[in-house]
Amino acid sequence: MRLTLTRGDITREHVDALVNAANTRLRGGGGVDGAIHRAGGPAVLADCVRRFPHGLPTGRAGWTTAGELPARWVIHVVGPDYTAGQRDPDLLASCYLEALAVADELGARTVAFPAVSAGVYGWPLHDAARIAVKTVAETPTQVHEARFVLLGAETYDAFAHARAGS
């Protein structure tokens, strides 16, 4: 598998599946979650409500249509909220493991990932990058390209550093 990094807006990525850093309710929110719901249009929310009426627990993943996004699917992962005391690194790694498992079930070959939990959920950036890159790089998958789509130079640099060390 090819692991790539890019700076940009995940909602503009032409891939088979976009990974959404969602909250447990899967009803949209701020950050990546809000951007994906806005860009994907009402079909994304409607599919979330239909497929996940009670949401998803932390560390889990599920998929929906991508609506108007330039992807086929959205894989929603619920990252741990570090600021609320969810500090188990296995929960964060589980987001990436589960996203790749869902991608394999769907037959997705290109997947775009955000920096799960490294924004409003407050996971320390360099640790979040290390966990993300290590987990994705070491997980057996049928995905051909895992693309980390990162906003800002600091986030990109943290992921580049993590990739260089993996």
Catalytic annotation, residues = 33
Helix (H, G, I), strand (E, B) or coil at 75: strand
Q: Are strands 17-22 and 2-7 parallel, antiparallel or unpaired?
A: unpaired
User: Rounded to whole angstroms, how far apart are CA atoms 74 and 62?
Assistant: 8
Q: 35 and 9 in contact (C-beta within 8 Å)?
A: yes
Q: Cβ-count burial of 164 within 10 angstroms (0-12 exposed, 13-18 middle, 19+ buried)?
A: exposed
Helix (H, G, I), strand (E, B) or coil at 154: helix
